[in-house]
């Protein structure tokens, strides 16, 4: 019974906090609360600058051989034949960064 009592108290506290936060959100949305701006934040909204629309990058074409290789690799990994619906190239420097980390970690540091 004490566990149920403790849980009921915790639930009541959470509900009170939720009501308090909901009220604060409403006040902030109405502009009733004047919160100081964060350090370095502009006080007035910046005027939008006109920038030229970036030219869309041409999508690299995936050959049928590459698609078959990806499908075979997935089938080998998952153990079942897969049907690929979409492949997208995601630009990321994670592989390069991990390579640099690996190389730098292999160096012996002298004190």
Task: Please indicate, yes or no, if residue 102 is contained in any of the structural domains.
Answer: no
Is residue 13, in this structure, part of any structural domain at all? yes
pLDDT band at 56 (very low <50, low <70, confident <90, very high): confident
- In this structure, is residue 21 part of a structural domain? yes
Half-sphere exposure of 92 (CA within 13 A, CB side): 7
Confidence bin at 9 (pLDDT 50/70/90) = confident
Would you say residue 72 lies in a domain? no
Please tell me the distance from the alpha carbon of residue 25 to that of residue 31, in angstroms, as a whole number.
10
Other Cβ atoms within 10 Å of 62 Cβ, number = 14
Give me the domain span that covers residue 28. 1-32
Q: What are the CB-based long-range contacts (under 8 Å, 24+) for 83-90?
A: 87/62, 89/59, 89/60
Q: Domain for residue 92, yes or no?
A: no
Tell me if 25 is assigned to some domain: yes
Residue 22 forms part of a structural domain: yes
Is residue 91 a part of any domain in this protein? no
- The answer to whether residue 1 scores a pLDDT higher than 70 is no
User: Does pTM surpass 0.85?
Assistant: no
Counting the structural domains of the chain, the total is: 1
């Amino acid at each position: 019974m004490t566990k149920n009592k403790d849980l009921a108290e915790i639930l009541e506290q959470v509900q009170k906090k939720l009501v308090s936060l909901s009220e604060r959100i409403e006040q902030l949305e109405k502009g009733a609360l004047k919160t100081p701006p964060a350090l370095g934040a502009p006080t007035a909204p910046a005027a939008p600058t006109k920038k030229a629309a970036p030219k869309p990058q041409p999508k690299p074409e995936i050959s049928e051989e590459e698609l078959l290789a990806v499908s075979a690799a997935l089938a080998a990994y998952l153990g079942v034949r897969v049907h690929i619906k979409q492949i997208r190239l995601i630009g990321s420097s994670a592989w390069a960064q991990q390579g640099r980390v690996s190389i730098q970690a292999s160096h012996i540091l002298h004190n």
